C-alpha cells in the first residue's frame, strides 16, 4: 500500500497550444447560459493575464464587426471577470456599444409608457422562463426610457442575483431601496449578495434593517444567522437559529447549521444531538453525518466517529471531509495502515496542505522520515506559510538527526504561528537532544502556556530537568502527567529514572489520580528502591495486552535497576535477567527490533557478570543476527551509522567476553577491528570489510625500547592492554564506574569552563582563571592516576624509553601523557592500523614548510599572539635556510588552502581557530578567511604523504567526538593522519595564546635542529613549565633582530613590549618563579602519529 501511495508519478505531458477563438466561444456561450464568475475563472484555467490572449482579443475587436448582443456579453465578461483579459473584453464591448447610432425616434408620453410596459413584460417573461440575460437586456432597454423604474430595477436585480452577479445585483438592489427604503425583501436580497461577497458585517446591517421592518421574516433570520456565524459570533448565531426553528422547526439545514455552531463552541454532546435531529428529518444527509463524526472525534470517541464517517461515505463515497476525518480518527487509535489507505483515497479527490501534512504526521510516526518530509514539502508547495506542514517537516528532519535544518523549519513555523503547540514542543525537544537543557525548558514552558496539561510536553520537560539534575522537579512533572493518564508508560519509565537518581526521601505532597491514592506513600520512596516501586506500580496500570511495548520497557528498566543496584551481586543479576526475559516476551525482534536488540545487549552484560560465557555467546549470536538485519534494511549510510552507534556496545561486550575467557590477544584484535571500522566509515564511507592488523603486524610497531598501552572502555569494564616487544600481551580489567564518575565531573566542569567569558559582565580571563576546572586541574589529574592504575602499568615498562598511547572513547580527551614518568617520550595513535599505515609511508622529501597566518574568520575573535607567533616562526624557518610558503591571513580561503596542501611541503603549521562539530565530527573544521572552512572530511580526502608534521596551533584541535560511535577517536587529528601526514601536533583544550606561542616557537627550534618531534615536544613542555620571567625575557631577546623589524614592524613592537613587561620587577609573578608551571599551559599539547618520522 505504501508503494502505491509513494509510487513514481508519470511525467505530465506538455500543454498543447491554446485555441483562443475556441476558448472565447466557450466563455461567451457560458455567459449566455448563466455562468458565474467562478465558472469563467475555471474555464480560463489561470489565463486571466495571458498576454497572448489579450493580444488576440485586441486584434479580434479591431478586425471583426461585433454584434451588439456579443458586445453585451463582452461587457458582462469584463464585469464579472478579473485580470487583463477581462478588462480587454469590457473595453471592446463598451467601445462597440458606444459606437451604435444614438438617435432614437421621439416618443410621446403615452407611447413611452406603452413601450416601457412592453419591455417590462418581456423582461418578466424572460425571467419566468429562466433566460436571465434576456431579461436583463430588456430591463436595460426599459431603463434607457425610464432610469428610475422601480419595477424594472427589481426584475434586473433579481436576474443579476440568479446569474450570481452579486456585486451588480447588490448595486441594483441599492437603487431599488433608494426608491423604496422599506422593501424588506430587497434588503434581504442585498444582504445575501454581500454575504456571497464575504462582506458579512455590511450584510448584517441589511438583515437587521429587514428584521426591524418585519421581525419574523424567515429569509432575513436565516441570512442573519449565517452572517453572524461567519463572523464567529456563534452564541448569537444560536439564538437566531432558535428563532428560525420557531418558524420552521423541521428544516434539516437549519438544524445542521445550529449543530455546527454548538460544535464551534466545543459543546460537542449538544452538537451531536442536533446533528441527529437533522438526520431524523433527512437520513441521507451526508454533511450532517460527517460533521457528527468530527464532534465525536473531538470527544475522543474515535470508533463512533469512524462509524459516522462510514455512514457518510456510504451515501457519498467521494466525500472529502469524511475521508479526512476518518483518516485522522484511525491515526488517533493507531490503525495506521488503514489511515494511510483512507488518505490515499482522499488524495485522489483533492490535494490540500492539510491532507499532505496529515500524511506526513503518520509517516513520521512510522519513522519514514524521508517520505514524511516529502509530503510536508508538498503541503508547503501549496501553502508556503502552512505552520503545521513546517512542523511536520521539522519533526522528520529531527528524526534524521538533521537538527540545524529541523530548527530552521520549526523557527519558521513559529514566526507564522507563535503559539503552535507542536512547533514549540518540537523545538524544546530538539534543544534537549542537543544538550541545551535550560533553553529547552523555556520552550516547553511556552508550549505549556498554550496547553497547560499536554502530557508529552510535561514528560519532555521532566527529561530536561532530570538531565540538569533537578530530580524532584522532574518527578513533579511526571506526576502531573500521571494525574491525567496513569497509562502513559513514558512517564512511569522516566519517573523511575529520576527516583533512582534522587536522594531526597519522603516528599511532603504529591498529586496523583484517585486510582493511585493508596500508593502515595510508596511513591515517595527514592533511590533504587524508589525506582523499583515506581516501575512495579507502573506495571499495575500498564498491561501486557493493552500496551505490550510500554509493558516490555517497564520490565527492562526494572532489570536495569537491579543491575545497577549491585552489578557484582549474583542475586541482583539474576533478578535483572528475569526482568529482561519478561521484556523480551513483548519486545520481540519482529515487532520492535531496536528495543529487542537493546534488551539482548543488557542480558549479555548481566550474564557476563555471572560468568555465563556460553549464554553470553548464544545471546550475542542472536543479537548479531538482529543487528545485521537492521544494517541490511537501512537505506542510507547515515542510517547504518546511527545503528552502529546505537549498538556499539555489542562490539565492546565482545572484547569483555574474550577477556573473561582469557583470550587476551583475541580481545585486543577485536578492539582494534572496531576502532578501524569506525575511523573508516566516519571519515570515508561505510564499508562492510575493514583492514585491521594481526598480532604480528602490531608487534612491528615495537622495539626493545618502545611499548604500547592500549585502552578499551565498555559500559562496565575498563581494560588496559600492555604490549611490549619482549613479552606477550597482558591485560588488566577493572570496573569502569570510577572512571565514568571522574569523567562526568571533568566533562561537566570543562563544558562550563568553555562557556565562561562570553558576556561583558564576565570577562574571559577573570572568569576562567578562577574556574574550578582550571584551579583543580592538577588535583583532578592526580585523582585520575590511580583510577587508571598508572603506577602498576609503569612497573611493566622497565627499559622502555618510548611509549605509544592508544586511548579509547573519552580517554582521547585527556592528557594521559602527564600521568607517566617524565623520562618517557610519549606519542599517541588513534589505532594500531594507523600506526602501521604511517610506518609504510614513503620517505619525506626536503621541501618547503607551509605556514598559515591566523585567518580572520567572520564569527571568531583574533588570537592575541597569533601574528607574533607566525612572524617568529617565519624568521626561525629562514634561520635554518628554509623559506616557508606563507599564506597571509586574508588569503586563507578553502580553495587556496586546498590547492596549496596538494603541493609538495614538508610540514604545515596552522595558527588559528578550529570549530568542532560534536554531532558530526567529520564536519569539524579549521576556521579560514571570512566564512570559509576546511572540514575533517575534506582533509581526509587529500594526499598528505609528503607532510612529516602537521602543527595545529588552534583551539581544541585534538578533541574528538562525544556523540559519535560511543566517542571513538574521530576529529581533525585522525583526518590528517588518514590523509597520510606522519605526525600531528595539537591541543586538547583552549590554551592561553601567549604560552601557546612560546611553546610552539621553542618546539620548532628543537625540531628544525634535528630533534625528533616527540622529543622536541617533550623538551618544549619541560622548558615551558619551568621557565621564569627572567629566563623567558632572555630567550625572547634572540628574536629581536633587524630582519624582524623590517619584515614585521608591528610584531617587532609587540615582542619588545613583551620583553619589557617580563623584565619589570613590579610584575605580579616574581622574576624567579616559573610562569607556566600549571598543567593548564603545557599539558594540553599532544603528538599523534609515527614516533620516528621526520
Determine the Cα–Cα distance for residues 380 and 138; give it in Å rounded to an integer.
50
Does residue 975 belong to any structural domain of this protein? yes
Determine the Cα–Cα distance for residues 746 and 750; give it in Å rounded to an integer.
6
Beta bridge partner(s), residue 1086: 986
Determine the Cα–Cα distance for residues 429 and 410; give it in Å rounded to an integer.
11
- Dihedral (CA of 431, 435, 437, 438) sign: negative
Under a CB-based contact definition with an 8 Å cutoff, are residues 511 and 519 in contact? no
Does residue 158 belong to any structural domain of this protein? no
Beta bridge partner(s), residue 908: 850, 950
Count of structural domains, the chain = 2
Under a CB-based contact definition with an 8 Å cutoff, are residues 720 and 710 in contact? yes
- Measured in degrees and rounded to the nearest 5, phi and psi for residue 2 equal -65, -35
For 543, the grid coordinates are 498491561
| Buried-state track 277-299, b at ≥16 Cβ within 10 A, e below 16 | bbbeebeebbbbbbbbbbbbbee
Identify the H or E element spanning 320: helix 320-332
934: nearest Cα among 900, 969, 904, 885:
900
Identify the H or E element spanning 707: strand 706-713
Does residue 875 belong to any structural domain of this protein? yes
Under a CB-based contact definition with an 8 Å cutoff, are residues 271 and 260 in contact? yes
Does residue 738 belong to any structural domain of this protein? no
Residue 857's CATH number: 3.40.50.720
Angle at 1090 between CA 1092 and CA 797, to 5 degrees: 75
Determine the Cα–Cα distance for residues 186 and 207; give it in Å rounded to an integer.
10
Determine the Cα–Cα distance for residues 989 and 1082; give it in Å rounded to an integer.
10
Boundary residue ending a domain (98, 129, 148): 98
Under a CB-based contact definition with an 8 Å cutoff, are residues 438 and 751 in contact? no
> Residue 460: CB partners within 8 Å, gap ≥ 6?
425, 428, 429, 432, 440, 444
Determine the Cα–Cα distance for residues 179 and 193; give it in Å rounded to an integer.
19
Does residue 371 belong to any structural domain of this protein? no
Predicted pLDDT at 919 = 63
Determine the Cα–Cα distance for residues 213 and 96; give it in Å rounded to an integer.
44
Output the CA torsion 664→670→675→679 (10° steps).
150
- Which conformational region is residue 757 in: left (phi greater than 0), alpha (psi within -120 to 50 degrees), or beta? left
> Is the pTM above the cut of 0.95?
no
Which residue's C-alpha cell is 587508571? 788
Determine the Cα–Cα distance for residues 459 and 477; give it in Å rounded to an integer.
7
Under a CB-based contact definition with an 8 Å cutoff, are residues 806 and 693 in contact? no
Under DSSP, the state recorded for 506 is S
Identify the H or E element spanning 935: strand 933-935
- Measured in degrees and rounded to the nearest 5, phi and psi for residue 245 equal -70, -25
Boundary residue ending a domain (48, 81, 98): 98
How many other CB atoms are found less than 10 A from the CB of residue 792? Answer: 12
- Which conformational region is residue 444 in: left (phi greater than 0), alpha (psi within -120 to 50 degrees), or beta? alpha
| Buried-state track 104-122, b at ≥16 Cβ within 10 A, e below 16 | eeeeeeeeeeeebeebbeb
Determine the Cα–Cα distance for residues 306 and 338; give it in Å rounded to an integer.
12
Beta-carbon-side half-sphere exposure of residue 13 (alpha carbons within 13 Å): 3
Under a CB-based contact definition with an 8 Å cutoff, are residues 554 and 492 in contact? yes
Q: Cα separations (Å) of 307 from 294, 310, 359, 603, 810? A: 11, 5, 21, 46, 58
- Which conformational region is residue 46 in: left (phi greater than 0), alpha (psi within -120 to 50 degrees), or beta? left
> Residue 520: CB partners within 8 Å, gap ≥ 6?
510, 512
| Buried-state track 505-539, b at ≥16 Cβ within 10 A, e below 16 | eebeebebeeebeebeeebbbbbbebbbbbbebbb
Does residue 914 belong to any structural domain of this protein? yes
Predicted pLDDT at 514 = 38
Angle at 1058 between CA 1071 and CA 958, to 5 degrees: 95
Determine the Cα–Cα distance for residues 207 and 184; give it in Å rounded to an integer.
8
Boundary residue ending a domain (64, 81, 98): 98
Predicted pLDDT at 64 = 59
Strands of the 925-927 sheet, one edge to the other: 914-915, 925-927, 933-935
551: nearest Cα among 511, 503, 584, 600:
584
Quickly list DSSP for 893-925: -HHHHHHHHTS--SEEEEEE-EE--SS-GGG-E
Does residue 346 belong to any structural domain of this protein? no
> Residue 877: CB partners within 8 Å, gap ≥ 6?
849, 851, 883, 884, 1004, 1008
C-alpha radius of gyration, the chain, whole number: 41
Q: Cα separations (Å) of 1032 from 778, 995, 1067? A: 23, 11, 14
Q: Note the Cα 373 to chain centre separation in Å.
A: 11
H, E, C per residue of 276-303: HHHHHHCCCCHHHHHHHHHHHHHCCCHH
- Measured in degrees and rounded to the nearest 5, phi and psi for residue 805 equal -105, 130
Does residue 665 belong to any structural domain of this protein? no
Per run of 10 residues, the mean pLDDT along the chain (length 1094 residues) is 33 52 81 76 83 80 69 80 82 76 61 86 91 88 88 92 88 92 94 92 94 93 92 92 92 93 94 94 94 94 94 93 91 84 87 89 85 92 94 94 92 95 95 90 96 95 92 93 93 94 53 44 85 94 92 96 89 95 95 92 90 88 86 75 75 84 90 80 50 87 93 90 86 90 86 60 57 90 95 90 92 92 92 86 77 83 84 90 86 92 91 73 84 88 90 63 43 85 89 89 94 94 94 94 91 92 76 88 91 56
H-only helix segments in 542-663: 548-565, 570-586, 593-609, 613-633, 637-646, 648-660
Under a CB-based contact definition with an 8 Å cutoff, are residues 391 and 401 in contact? no
> Residue 342: CB partners within 8 Å, gap ≥ 6?
323, 326, 327, 330
Predicted pLDDT at 646 = 75
Q: Cα separations (Å) of 178 from 200, 217, 890? A: 21, 21, 79
- By residue range, what is the domain housing residue 1064? 844-1089
Amino acid at each position: 500500500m505504501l508503494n502505491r501511495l509513494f509510487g513514481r508519478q508519470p511525467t505530465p505531458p506538455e500543454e498543447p497550444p491554446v485555441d483562443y477563438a475556441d476558448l472565447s466561444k466557450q466563455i461567451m456561450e457560458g455567459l449566455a447560459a448563466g455562468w458565474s464568475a467562478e465558472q469563467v475563472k475555471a474555464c480560463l484555467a489561470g489565463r486571466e493575464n495571458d498576454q497572448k490572449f489579450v493580444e488576440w482579443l485586441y486584434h479580434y475587436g479591431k478586425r471583426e464587426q461585433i454584434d451588439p448582443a456579443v458586445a453585451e456579453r463582452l461587457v458582462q465578461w469584463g464585469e464579472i471577470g478579473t485580470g487583463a483579459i477581462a478588462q480587454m473584453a469590457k473595453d471592446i464591448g463598451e467601445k462597440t456599444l458606444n459606437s451604435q447610432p444614438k438617435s432614437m425616434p421621439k416618443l410621446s408620453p403615452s407611447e413611452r409608457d406603452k413601450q416601457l410596459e412592453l419591455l417590462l413584460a418581456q423582461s418578466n417573461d424572460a425571467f419566468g422562463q429562466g433566460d436571465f440575460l434576456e431579461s436583463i437586456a430588456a430591463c436595460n432597454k426599459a431603463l434607457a426610457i425610464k432610469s428610475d423604474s422601480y419595477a424594472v430595477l427589481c426584475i434586473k436585480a433579481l436576474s443579476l442575483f440568479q446569474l450570481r452577479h452579486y456585486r451588480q445585483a447588490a448595486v441594483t438592489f441599492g437603487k431599488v431601496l433608494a426608491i423604496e427604503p422599506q422593501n424588506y425583501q430587497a434588503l434581504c436580497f442585498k444582504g445575501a449578495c454581500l454575504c456571497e461577497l464575504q462582506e458579512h458585517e455590511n450584510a448584517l446591517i441589511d438583515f437587521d434593517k429587514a428584521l426591524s421592518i418585519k421581525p419574523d421574516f424567515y429569509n432575513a433570520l436565516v441570512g442573519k444567522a449565517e452572517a453572524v456565524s461567519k463572523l464567529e459570533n456563534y452564541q448569537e448565531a444560536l439564538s437566531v437559529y432558535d428563532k428560525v426553528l420557531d418558524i420552521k422547526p423541521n428544516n434539516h439545514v437549519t438544524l445542521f447549521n445550529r449543530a455546527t455552531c454548538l460544535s464551534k463552541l466545543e459543546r460537542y454532546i449538544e452538537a451531536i444531538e442536533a446533528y441527529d435531529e437533522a438526520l431524523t428529518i433527512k437520513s441521507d444527509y451526508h454533511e450532517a453525518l460527517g460533521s457528527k463524526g468530527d464532534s465525536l472525534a473531538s470527544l475522543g470517541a474515535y470508533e463512533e466517529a469512524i462509524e459516522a464517517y462510514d455512514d457518510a461515505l456510504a451515501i457519498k463515497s467521494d466525500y472529502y471531509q469524511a475521508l479526512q476525518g476518518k483518516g485522522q480518527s484511525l491515526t488517533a487509535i493507531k490503525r495506521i495502515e488503514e489511515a494511510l489507505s483512507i488518505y490515499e483515497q482522499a488524495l485522489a479527490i483533492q490535494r490540500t496542505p492539510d491532507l499532505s501534512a496529515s500524511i506526513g504526521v503518520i509517516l513520521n510516526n512510522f519513522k519514514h522520515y524521508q517520505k514524511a518530509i516529502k509530503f510536508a514539502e508538498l503541503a508547503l508547495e501549496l501553502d508556503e506559510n502552512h505552520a503545521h506542514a513546517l512542523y511536520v517537516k521539522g519533526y522528520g528532519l529531527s528524526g534524521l538527526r538533521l537538527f540545524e535544518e529541523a530548527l530552521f523549519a520549526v523557527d519558521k513555523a513559529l514566526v507564522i504561528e507563535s503559539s503552535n503547540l507542536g512547533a514549540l514542543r518540537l523545538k524544546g525537544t530538539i534543544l534537549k537532544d542537543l544538550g541545551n537543557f535550560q533553553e529547552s525548558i523555556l520552550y516547553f514552558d511556552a508550549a505549556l502556556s498554550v496547553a497547560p496539561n499536554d502530557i508529552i510536553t510535561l514528560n519532555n520537560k521532566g527529561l530536561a530537568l532530570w538531565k540538569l539534575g533537578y530530580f524532584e522537579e522532574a518527578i513533579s512533572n511526571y506526576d502531573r502527567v500521571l494525574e491525567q493518564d496513569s497509562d502513559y508508560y513514558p512517564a512511569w519509565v522516566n519517573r523511575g529514572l529520576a527516583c533512582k537518581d534522587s536522594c531526597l526521601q519522603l516528599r511532603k505532597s504529591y498529586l496523583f489520580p484517585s486510582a493511585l491514592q493508596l500508593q502515595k506513600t510508596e511513591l515517595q520512596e527514592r533511590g533504587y528502591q524508589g525506582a523499583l516501586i515506581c516501575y512495579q506500580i507502573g506495571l499495575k496500570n500498564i498491561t501486557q495486552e493493552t500496551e505490550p511495548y510500554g509493558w516490555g520497557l517497564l520490565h527492562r528498566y526494572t532489570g536495569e535497576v537491579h543491575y545497577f543496584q549491585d552489578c557484582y551481586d549474583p542475586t541482583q543479576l539474576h533478578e535483572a535477567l528475569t526482568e529482561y526475559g519478561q521484556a523480551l516476551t513483548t519486545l520481540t525482534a519482529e515487532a520492535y527490533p531496536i528495543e529487542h536488540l537493546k534488551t539482548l545487549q543488557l542480558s549479555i552484560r548481566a550474564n557476563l557478570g555471572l560468568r555465563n560465557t556460553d549464554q553470553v555467546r548464544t545471546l550475542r549470536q542472536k543479537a548479531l543476527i538482529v543487528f545485521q538485519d537492521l544494517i541490511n534494511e537501512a537505506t542510507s549510510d547515515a542510517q547504518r551509522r546511527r545503528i552502529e552507534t546505537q549498538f556499539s556496545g555489542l562490539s565492546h561486550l565482545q572484547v569483555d567476553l574474550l577477556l573473561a575467557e582469557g583470550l587476551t590477544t583475541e580481545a585486543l584484535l577485536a578492539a582494534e577491528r572496531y576502532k578501524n571500522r569506525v575511523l573508516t566509515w566516519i571519515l570515508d564511507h561505510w564499508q562492510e570489510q575493514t583492514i585491521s592488523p594481526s598480532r604480528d603486524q602490531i608487534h612491528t610497531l615495537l622495539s626493545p625500547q618502545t611499548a604500547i598501552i592500549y585502552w578499551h572502555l565498555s559500559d562496565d569494564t575498563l581494560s588496559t592492554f600492555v604490549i611490549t616487544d619482549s613479552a606477550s600481551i597482558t591485560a588488566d580489567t577493572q570496573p569502569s564506574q570510577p572512571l565514568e564518575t571522574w569523567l562526568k565531573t571533568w566533562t561537566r566542569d570543562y563544558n562550563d569552563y568553555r562557556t565562561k567569558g562570553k558576556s561583558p559582565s564576565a570577562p574571559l580571563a577573570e572568569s576562567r582563571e578562577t574556574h574550578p576546572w582550571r584551579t583543580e586541574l592538577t588535583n583532578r589529574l592526580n585523582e585520575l592516576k590511580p583510577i587508571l592504575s598508572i603506577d602498576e602499568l609503569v612497573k611493566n615498562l622497565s627499559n622502555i624509553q618510548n611509549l605509544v598511547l592508544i586511548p579509547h572513547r573519552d580517554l582521547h580527551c585527556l592528557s594521559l601523557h602527564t600521568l607517566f614518568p617524565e623520562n618517557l617520550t610519549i606519542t599517541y595513535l588513534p589505532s594500531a592500523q594507523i600506526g602501521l599505515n604511517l610506518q609504510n609511508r614513503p620517505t619525506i622529501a626536503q621541501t618547503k614548510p607551509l605556514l598559515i597566518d591566523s585567518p580572520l574568520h567572520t564569527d571568531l575573535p583574533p588570537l592575541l599572539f597569533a601574528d607574533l607567533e607566525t612572524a617568529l616562526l617565519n624568521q626561525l624557518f629562514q634561520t635554518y635556510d628554509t623559506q616557508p610558503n606563507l599564506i597571509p591571513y586574508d588569503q586563507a580561503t578553502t580553495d587556496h588552502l586546498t590547492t596549496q596542501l596538494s603541493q609538495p611541503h614538508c610540514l604545515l603549521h596552522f595558527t588559528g581557530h578550529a570549530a568542532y562539530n560534536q554531532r558530526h565530527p567529520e564536519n569539524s573544521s579549521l576556521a579560514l578567511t571570512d566564512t570559509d572552512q576546511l572540514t575533517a572530511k575534506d582533509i581526509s580526502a587529500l594526499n598528505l604523504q609528503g607532510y612529516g608534521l602537521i602543527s595545529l596551533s588552534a583551539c581544541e584541535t585534538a578533541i574528538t567526538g562525544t556523540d559519535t560511535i560511543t566517542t571513538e577517536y574521530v576529529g581533525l587529528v585522525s583526518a590528517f593522519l588518514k590523509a597520510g601526514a606522519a605526525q600531528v601536533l595539537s591541543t586538547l583544550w583552549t590554551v592561553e595564546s601567549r604560552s601557546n606561542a612560546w611553546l610552539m616557537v621553542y618546539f620548532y627550534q628543537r625540531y628544525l635542529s634535528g630533534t625528533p618531534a616527540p622529543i622536541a615536544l617533550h623538551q618544549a613542555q619541560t622548558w615551558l613549565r619551568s621557565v621564569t620571567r627572567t629566563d623567558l625575557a632572555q630567550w625572547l631577546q634572540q628574536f629581536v633582530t633587524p630582519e624582524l623589524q623590517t619584515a614585521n614592524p608591528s610584531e617587532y613592537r609587540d615582542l619588545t613590549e613583551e620583553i619589557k613587561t617580563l623584565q619589570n620587577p613590579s610584575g605580579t609573578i616574581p622574576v624567579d618563579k616559573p610562569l607556566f608551571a600549571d598543567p593548564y599551559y603545557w599539558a594540553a599539547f599532544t603528538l599523534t602519529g609515527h614516533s620516528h618520522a621526520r
